[in-house]
Amino acid sequence: MNFSRIKQSIISNSISISFGVIIIMMLIQAILSIWRFNEVKVEFEQVVDVYNVRMELVQKMRVISRERAPILFTMINTEDAFELDSLLMEFQQLGSRFLVARKQLLETNLSDKETQLLEVHREYARSVVPDQRKVIRLIQEGRTVEARKLLVDKVSPNQVEALKHLDEIIAYESESSKQAMTNARTLFENTQRDLGLTTTFGSLISIIIGIIVSIRFTYYVRTLKKNKEDLEDTVIERTRERAAGLEQKI
């Protein structure tokens, strides 16, 4: 009986340990899956939220720069003082909107390369502003011929160059966005591969554990059956011996 109980206890413990190992492996796999997919999520969010915001801000800066150029030409050709004041106010408001967009762009934690490109544009734009102000002053003084010549010969070409620097930033952001998407895609593919390997490995381990448990269970059952049969044979044999002894006494 004691031997039988010990065998049953061993079987029970083996099954419990085996299922415990399987459960632990499933938990590890689930945690790994959540962690890796969270990495993929963060990477995609960076692509969508950061690079798209930067692209929009740089595009906004470019549009504002383009809108300011024709305003100066319109100011030269107008003779209405009220329209001139309205155009000047619009020109200044666009300048303020440009600075706000630039400030928002700087707050997106730019890389060193992005900061360098933006600083190059800033330095170039600074050289354009004094000439723009001079054009406005000449227009206000009625010296439209000088204002037009300065605008055509110097201001407009410099504005075109400034736009090219913004285009460089846009091209860099576009390339960075593509690279981030590629990295995210690679991370996702690696995650799929790792999860596939983990699932396959976990399944194999579970199968092996199941086979081991089944073999040990079958072995213990056969052992118990054999012990039972041996015990029955022993009982029968002793019963026969006892019966034979009684017959001899009689």
Q: How far apart are CA 16 and CA 221, in angstroms?
A: 17
Domain containing residue 119: 24-206
- What is the model's pLDDT at position 14? 60
Count the neighbouring beta carbons within 10 Å of the beta carbon of residue 63: 15
- What is the model's pLDDT at position 48? 65
Would 241 be classed as within a structural domain?
no
pLDDT tens track for 228-243: 777 777 777 777 767 6
Would 232 be classed as within a structural domain?
no
- CATH code, 88: 1.20.120
Would 123 be classed as within a structural domain?
yes
Cβ-proximal residues to 216 (8 Å cutoff; 6+ apart), any chain: 11, 14
> CA 244 → CA 95, 162, 232, 239, 247, distances in Å?
122, 121, 18, 8, 5
Average pLDDT over residues 14-31: 66
Average pLDDT over residues 22-40: 69
Angle 60-66-72 (CA atoms, 0-180°, nearest 5)? 135
Would 153 be classed as within a structural domain?
yes
**Res. 121: pLDDT tops 50:** yes
Would 246 be classed as within a structural domain?
no
More confident residue, 32 or 138: 138
Report the half-sphere exposure of 163 (CA within 13 A, side-chain side): 15
- What is the model's pLDDT at position 54? 87
Q: Which of 38, 35, 36 is nearest to 46 (CA)?
A: 38
Total count of domains within the chain:
1
DSSP letter for each residue of 102-165: HHHHHTT---HHHHHHHHHHHHHHHHHHHHHHHHHHHHHTT-HHHHHHHIIIIIHHHHHHHHHH
Weakest-pLDDT range from 11-15, 63-67, 195-199, 202-206: 11-15
* pLDDT band (50, 70, 90) for residue 19: low
Average pLDDT, the chain: 79
Would 176 be classed as within a structural domain?
yes
Q: Which of 142, 60, 43, 52 is nearest to 99 (CA)?
A: 60
Cβ-proximal residues to 102 (8 Å cutoff; 6+ apart), any chain: 57, 61, 118, 122
Would 201 be classed as within a structural domain?
yes
Phi-psi region of 118 (alpha: psi -120 to 50; beta: other; left: phi over 0): alpha
pLDDT tens track for 58-104: 999 999 988 888 899 999 988 888 999 999 999 999 999 999 999 99
Would 82 be classed as within a structural domain?
yes
> CA 100 → CA 24, 90, 107, distances in Å?
54, 15, 11
Helix 52-77 × helix 81-106 angle, to 10°: 160
Angle 152-155-157 (CA atoms, 0-180°, nearest 5)? 75
**Res. 1: pLDDT tops 50:** no
Average pLDDT over residues 18-35: 68
